[in-house]
């Protein structure tokens, strides 16, 4: 049987890794897929640039549309990133009756509903395993391996840059800005690190995970997103002292009133396995009603880890080239006409526990005033630590650290406003949410 002919859009890090993995493991891949998979054409912006992969036998072009319009190509692999040109190319490929494999989380999170509708109309597949958590096969796991479960919640460390920064801050007592500069020097963070440190990259990925977990349309605009730029080494140290670690989590939870979709720094107990995922590694914790909590760990980025997922998608698409489109695994796990538009909760309606840190003048009655505010709003306190620290003017102040029980965000916002208005409180109250991530939740 003739090999499947593939066109590759982008010969950067992941594109080069894909070429290398297919070349090295071609025979093994053909045994799995039932026929060979061959990249016959690839596009790159600079054709003279030296490559990390051997492109012998691959026709190179600077025009990506030459690939999506090539009648010989059966599968188009989109690895150029962004969501404007990539969307145009993917939609053109679909209109030409070609299957698509992509690693583009922004494209799927923002335009996936439109793309999948077009693909269903043309009877083609769009595979996107590499769009979330690099080499971890989390899409296939939730969509197929856990298909017998009602997914109750999931929580993921799904951005390696943020995880590297928080790990370095904890292990070496370093400041955020110092570690960010190192992450940029090492190539973990872009020159403009906004997508990573502000949680936008993780929100793209959480959008996709939530859709396949709960059978809802992709709704990136409704994800609450909060970054890690305000996390201090003091907060990281306090969390450790209290038996917690701070991780930048993407959390999706099914509740009786709707779906929670949120990305933010989170204190989690240090004994949880996911709390011990360090450096640039990723992990996703999924709770199903039948299977219980399951943890998936691995490289979230990199040339060959991500290429591993791209090639796995190529194998899947190759296997289904001759199958009835109506009997393929649905793009978003649930049949297209079975997706439900469950409400996405606003952050004010989310219920979680909190870590609070405030600076107060060291005078009688301050702690009583703070606890009275919390009591008035029916917020219970789990733990309190008070640390003396002279301020810049030599006056005696105290750092008050509190852990609360679970409460709605709206009530906590009101409490923080009232606490900050107290005469003895100096500066803003620092608030970080807490999750237990236990099997009982």
Catalytic residues: 205
- Give the DSSP per-residue string, 122-156: HT--EE-GGGSSTT--HHHIIIIITTTS-EEEEEE
Maximum distance among all alpha carbons in the chain? 84
d(CA 194, CA 207): 18
Q: Are 210 and 334 in contact (CB under 8 A)?
A: no
3-state SS, 412-427, equals: HHHHHHHHHCCCCEEE
Nearest residue to 235 via CA among 390, 398, 412, 430: 430
Cβ neighbours of residue 207 under 8 Å, at least 6 residues apart?
Answer: 108, 109, 218, 219, 220, 223, 261
Q: Are 18 and 77 in contact (CB under 8 A)?
A: yes
Cβ neighbours of residue 234 under 8 Å, at least 6 residues apart?
Answer: 357, 399
- Beta-bridged to residue 154, according to DSSP, are 252, 286
Quote the tokens at residue 406. 């679970």
Quote the tokens at residue 156. 């993921």
Q: Which residue stretches of 47-175 are H helix?
A: 64-68, 85-95, 105-122, 138-140, 160-172
Q: Element (H or E) spanning 354, and its range?
A: strand 351-361
Sign of the C-alpha dihedral computed for residues 273, 274, 277 and 283 taken in this order:
positive
Q: Are 68 and 85 in contact (CB under 8 A)?
A: no
How does DSSP classify residue 345?
P
d(CA 421, CA 111): 44
CA separation (Å) from 419 to 202, 412, 414? 32, 10, 9
Quote the tokens at residue 186. 């090492």
């Amino acid at each position: 049987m003739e090999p499947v002919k593939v066109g590759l859009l982008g010969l950067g890090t992941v594109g080069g890794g894909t070429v290398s993995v297919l070349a090295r493991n071609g025979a093994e891949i053909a045994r799995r897929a039932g026929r060979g998979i061959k990249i016959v054409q690839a596009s790159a912006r600079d054709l003279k640039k030296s490559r990390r992969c051997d492109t012998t036998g691959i026709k190179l072009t600077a025009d990506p549309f030459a690939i999506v319009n090539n009648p010989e190509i059966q599968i188009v692999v989109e690895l150029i990133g962004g969501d404007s040109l990539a969307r145009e190319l993917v939609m053109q490929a679909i209109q030409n009756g070609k299957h698509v494999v992509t690693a583009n989380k922004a494209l799927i999170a923002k335009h996936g509903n439109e793309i999948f509708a077009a693909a269903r109309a043309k009877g083609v597949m769009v595979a996107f395993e590499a769009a979330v958590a690099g080499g971890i096969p989390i899409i296939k796991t939730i969509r197929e391996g856990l298909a017998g479960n009602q997914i109750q919640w999931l929580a993921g460390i799904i951005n390696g840059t943020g995880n590297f920064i928080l790990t370095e801050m904890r292990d070496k007592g370093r400041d955020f800005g110092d570690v960010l500069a190192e992450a940029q020097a090492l190539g973990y963070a872009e020159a403009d690190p906004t997508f990573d440190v502000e949680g936008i990259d993780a929100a793209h990925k959480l959008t996709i995970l939530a859709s396949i977990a709960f059978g809802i349309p992709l709704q990136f605009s409704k994800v609450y997103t909060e970054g890690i730029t305000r996390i201090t080494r003091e907060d990281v140290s306090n969390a450790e002292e209290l038996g917690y670690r701070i991780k930048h989590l993407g959390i999706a939870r099914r509740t009786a009133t709707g779906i929670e979709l949120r990305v933010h720094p989170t204190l989690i107990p240090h004994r949880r396995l996911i709390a011990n995922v360090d450096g640039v590694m990723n992990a996703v914790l999924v709770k199903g009603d039948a299977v219980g909590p399951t943890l998936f760990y691995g490289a979230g980025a990199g040339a060959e880890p991500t290429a591993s997922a791209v090639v796995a998608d190529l194998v899947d698409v190759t296997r289904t080239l001759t199958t009835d489109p109506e009997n393929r695994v649905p793009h978003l796990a649930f049949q297209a006409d079975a997706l439900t538009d469950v409400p996405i909760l606003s952050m004010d309606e989310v219920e979680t526990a909190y870590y609070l840190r405030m600076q107060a003048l060291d005078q009688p009655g301050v702690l009583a005033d703070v606890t009275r505010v919390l009591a008035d709003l029916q917020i219970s306190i789990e733990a309190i630590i008070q640390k003396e620290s002279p301020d810049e003017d030599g006056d005696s102040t105290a750092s008050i650290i509190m852990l609360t029980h679970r409460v709605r965000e709206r009530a906590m916002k009101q409490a923080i406003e009232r606490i900050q208005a107290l005469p003895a409180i100096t500066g803003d109250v620092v608030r970080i949410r807490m999750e237990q991530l236990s099997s009982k939740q």
